[in-house]
């Protein structure tokens, strides 16, 4: 083999090597997978507060405010309100402008009164009361601060510093009127010489009525 042949063979071998290198599959970089970033766990917000639900059959769930007592509202209609209450409530022709209810153990009662000018007159007074000689707190309707019959003047004044004291128009009792901007106000009534409130009244009058069915 002469020099020219060897040169040709070497040239061919070089071309083959170059071609095979060019045709070899190249390592392809796989697309980078983004690293999973830590997702912040949302912090739960405060649970929404809900107003307590007044059960018409259970006055111990009722709240006393200047708008009414539980499902009984100042300005409502007596007949319509009475229709939504249990059959244990009473109303008769002798005192048709009132409706009343008494606890089974006679520890307290509730009544409400409409105006006497017509059957459609709005409810103007609602009372939670006890006939006990020594009124004490019992499971019954209370204000948002948890006060009801049996509450002392000191307890009422501590919870409602703006309360105003007054004297009953008839008799020797006294009362505390809670502050408020509504047409009606909440009153805690006290018999002379008795520490606990005997009545908690919501009324549109200047003070609770002395009697409602006399």
3-state DSSP assignment of residue 57: coil
Residue 60: per-residue pLDDT: 97
Residue range 38-96, pLDDT digits in tens: 455 555 555 544 556 889 999 999 999 999 999 999 999 999 999 999 999 999 988 99
| Element holding 127 (H helix, E strand) | strand 123-129
Contact 139, 60 (CB under 8 A): yes
Pairing of strands 72-73, 68-69: antiparallel
Residue range 152-172, pLDDT digits in tens: 999 999 999 999 999 999 989
Domain locations along the chain: 59-203
Output the CA–CA distances (angstroms, integers) from residue 114 to 90, 97, 181, 183, 188, in the order listed.
14, 5, 21, 15, 20
What phi, psi does 91 have (nearest 5°)?
-160, 130
Residue range 184-200, pLDDT digits in tens: 999 999 999 999 999 99
């Amino acid at each position: 083999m002469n020099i020219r042949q060897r040169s040709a063979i070497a040239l061919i071998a070089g071309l083959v090597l170059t071609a095979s290198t060019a045709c070899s599959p190249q390592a392809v970089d796989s697309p980078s997978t983004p690293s999973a970033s830590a997702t912040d766990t949302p912090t739960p917000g405060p649970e929404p507060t809900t107003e307590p639900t007044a059960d018409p059959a259970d006055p111990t769930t009722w709240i006393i405010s200047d708008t009414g007592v539980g499902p009984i509202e100042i300005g409502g209609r007596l007949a319509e309100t009475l229709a939504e209450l249990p059959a244990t409530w009473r109303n008769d022709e002798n005192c048709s402008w009132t409706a009343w209810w008494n606890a089974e153990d006679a520890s307290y009662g509730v009544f409400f009164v409409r105006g006497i000018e017509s059957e459609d007159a709005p409810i103007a007074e609602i009372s939670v009361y006890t006939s006990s000689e020594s009124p004490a707190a019992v499971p019954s309707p209370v204000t948002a601060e948890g006060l009801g019959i049996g509450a002392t003047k000191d307890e009422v004044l501590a919870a409602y510093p703006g309360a105003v004291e007054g004297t009953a128009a008839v008799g020797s009792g006294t009362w505390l009127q809670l502050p408020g901007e509504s047409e009606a106000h909440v009153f805690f009534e006290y018999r002379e010489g008795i520490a606990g409130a005997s009545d908690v009244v919501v009324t549109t009058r200047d003070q609770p009525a002395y009697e409602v069915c006399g």
